[in-house]
């Protein structure tokens, strides 16, 4: 009997390009309080209706004056007013200065602020001696120097973080229009899977393993701003798999599974999805990883990951993460995996035909150390490491070589 032909391997970049072409950004938007918008994607531009700061103000605690009144160091001037933040001063009288504090409006007529350390308060309320000759405009923050009225301060499609929320608040935005969170249904397949807490370690039956994928995938989805429905473990039965997929597709944007995307007799995901919709099973030229499934059940996307923990973890980071970011409206340039050049302090003597993602950790000398066991089931490598080396096909690595490094902090943010 002639064995079936071995599947061809698809380059990762080609698979990712195809996948992202299907990730049409969600159109539904919602308004959320600015304070609650961290990690969301902005749906429309934020335009400022005011200057920030709204008026010229002092950058220092000190004295506001006219430069013409203190041309030479040592000039002595009386204090005509005191201006704190939140107060409005009056026009500055010629030949006087105003005691002023950080953030307070600069009074009309003043053209510089001298910090208090460069001044001496004279006894008996005789005024203040200015010990340096001020320069025009020094220590004055001009109206609109941060944001001018009419400026687009945040752009639709931008991922919102703490700084963006502060900027939105600075122009008076109490609420922001953001893209609706993707609704993701998550389940695992495999009769060998057991949930922690249901069976004690010493009572585990032969061949059983605890379901670790469910935990890290759920955490990664939440970090990406998804609403996650955890459907648990689906038995290795065709009917049960079809039922779970049909129910999930009715109310979710994405179904994500781990395991069951190979072509074994107990791998029911592929025929179940094809019963309800369409599916492509890709063999991607990456290690760890390789089997990956993408398809549709009605309007719901289906993404199937391999079952081995590290393969599932890495495949999620390099394929599912950008897909979900694009679904939320992030520009293509922003979802691309960003690598930096870092020195390898290890040897990788055997090249592979596939693109490899090696678990590594930065060391005290600024280089990268390699975890000793790079197996696709060794989840300790992802805990020990702080990132991945993206090693091209056919490449060996020697100590001192510059390699492409991407940090887990970047991939899991």
Question: pLDDT tens, 342-374?
Answer: 999 999 999 999 999 999 999 999 999 999 999
Least confident window among 15-29, 195-209, 239-253: 195-209
Per-residue model confidence as pLDDT tens digits over 35-71: 999 999 999 999 999 999 999 999 999 999 999 999 9
Strands (E), 306-375: 340-344, 355-362, 367-370
User: What span, in angstroms and rounded, lies between the C-alpha atoms of 277 and 295?
Assistant: 7
User: What span, in angstroms and rounded, lies between the C-alpha atoms of 269 and 248?
Assistant: 14
Per-residue model confidence as pLDDT tens digits over 104-128: 999 999 999 999 999 999 999 899 9
User: What span, in angstroms and rounded, lies between the C-alpha atoms of 383 and 361?
Assistant: 10
Q: What sign has the CA pseudo-torsion 246, 306, 316, 204? A: positive
Per-residue pLDDT for 265 more than 50? no
The pLDDT of residue 203 is 87
Least confident window among 90-94, 130-134, 151-155, 190-194: 190-194
The pLDDT of residue 260 is 66
DSSP class of 68 = G
The pLDDT of residue 270 is 83
The pLDDT of residue 1 is 46
Per-residue pLDDT, averaged over 163-191, amounts to 94
Nearest CA to 352 among 385, 306, 390, 380?
390
* Alpha-carbon distances, residue 49 vs 33, 88, 152, 158 (angstroms): 18, 21, 10, 20
Domain 340-411 has CATH 2.40.340.10: yes
Per-residue pLDDT, averaged over 379-406, amounts to 97
Tell me phi and psi for residue 72, to 5 degrees.
-115, 140
The pLDDT of residue 235 is 79
- CATH dotted code for 29-52+145-179: 3.90.105.10
275-295 burial code (b ≥16 CB/10 A, e <16):
ebbebbbbbbbbbbbbbbbbb
Determine the topology of domain 57-141 in CATH.
Answer: Molybdopterin biosynthesis moeA protein; domain 3 (2.170.190)
The pLDDT of residue 101 is 97
In whole numbers, what is the pLDDT of the chain averaged over residues? 92
Q: What is the pTM of this model?
A: 0.85
Proportion of the chain above pLDDT 90, given as a percent: 80
Helices marked H in 89-161: none
Is the model more confident about 273 or about 210?
273
Q: What sign has the CA pseudo-torsion 148, 150, 151, 154? A: positive
The pLDDT of residue 267 is 62
The pLDDT of residue 229 is 96
Per-residue model confidence as pLDDT tens digits over 294-335: 999 999 999 999 889 999 999 999 999 999 999 999 999 999
C-beta of residue 200 within 8 angstroms of C-beta of residue 58: no
User: What span, in angstroms and rounded, lies between the C-alpha atoms of 237 and 243?
Assistant: 10
Q: Residue 165 is inside which H or E element, if any?
A: helix 162-170
The token pair that represents 163 in the structure block: 């700084």
Per-residue model confidence as pLDDT tens digits over 187-220: 887 778 888 888 888 888 888 888 888 999 999 9
The token pair that represents 164 in the structure block: 């963006």
User: What span, in angstroms and rounded, lies between the C-alpha atoms of 39 and 132?
Assistant: 48
Q: Which CATH architecture has domain 12-26+181-335?
A: 3-Layer(aba) Sandwich (3.40)
The HSE-up count of residue 207 (CA atoms within 13 Å, CB side) is 3
The token pair that represents 231 in the structure block: 């459907």
The pLDDT of residue 209 is 83
The token pair that represents 358 in the structure block: 């090696």
The pLDDT of residue 290 is 86
DSSP for 197-211, written as a single string: TTB-GGGPPTT-EE-
Query: What's the CA angle centered on 8, arms 349 and 14, to 5 degrees?
Result: 85
The domain locations on the chain are 12-26+181-335, 29-52+145-179, 57-141, 340-411
Under the banding of pLDDT at 50, 70 and 90, the label for residue 262 is low
């Amino acid at each position: 009997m002639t064995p079936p032909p071995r599947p061809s391997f698809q380059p990762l970049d080609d698979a990712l390009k195809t996948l992202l072409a299907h990730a049409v950004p969600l159109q539904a938007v919602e308004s959320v309080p600015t304070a609650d918008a961290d990690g969301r994607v902005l749906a429309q531009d934020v335009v400022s209706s005011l200057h920030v700061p709204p008026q010229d103000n002092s950058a220092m605690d000190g004295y506001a004056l006219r430069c013409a009144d203190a041309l030479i160091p040592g000039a002595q001037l009386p204090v005509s007013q005191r201006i704190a933040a939140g107060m409005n001063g009056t026009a500055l009288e010629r030949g006087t200065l105003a005691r002023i504090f950080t953030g307070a409006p600069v009074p009309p007529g003043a053209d510089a602020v001298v910090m208090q350390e460069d001044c001496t308060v004279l006894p008996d309320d005789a005024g203040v001696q200015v010990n340096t000759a001020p320069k025009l405009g020094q220590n004055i923050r001009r109206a609109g120097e941060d944001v001018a009225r009419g400026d687009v301060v945040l752009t639709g499609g931008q991922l919102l973080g703490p700084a963006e929320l502060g900027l939105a608040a600075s122009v008076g935005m109490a609420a922001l229009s953001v893209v609706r969170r993707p609704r993701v249904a998550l389940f695992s397949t495999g009769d060998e899977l057991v949930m922690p807490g249901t069976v004690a370690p010493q009572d585990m039956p032969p061949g059983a393993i605890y379901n670790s994928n469910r935990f890290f995938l759920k955490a990664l989805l939440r970090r990406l701003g998804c609403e996650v429905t955890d459907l648990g473990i689906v038995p290795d039965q065709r009917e049960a798999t079809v039922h779970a997929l049909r129910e999930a597709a009715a109310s979710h944007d994405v179904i994500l599974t781990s395991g069951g995307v190979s072509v074994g007799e107990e791998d029911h995901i592929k025929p179940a999805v094809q019963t309800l919709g369409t599916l492509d099973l890709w063999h991607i030229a990456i290690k760890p990883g390789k089997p990956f499934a993408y398809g549709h059940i009605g309007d719901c996307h289906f993404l199937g990951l391999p079952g081995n923990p590290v393969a599932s973890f890495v495949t999620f980071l390099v394929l599912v993460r950008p897909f979900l970011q694009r679904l939320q409206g992030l520009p293509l340039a922003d979802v691309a995996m960003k690598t930096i050049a870092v020195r390898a302090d290890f040897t990788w003597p055997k090249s592979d035909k596939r693109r490899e993602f090696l678990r590594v950790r930065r060391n005290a000398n600024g280089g990268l150390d390699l975890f000793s066991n790079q197996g696709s089931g060794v989840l300790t490598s992802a805990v020990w490491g702080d990132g991945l080396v993206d090693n091209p096909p056919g490449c060996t690595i020697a100590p001192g070589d510059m390699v492409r490094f991407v940090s887990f902090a970047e991939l899991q943010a």
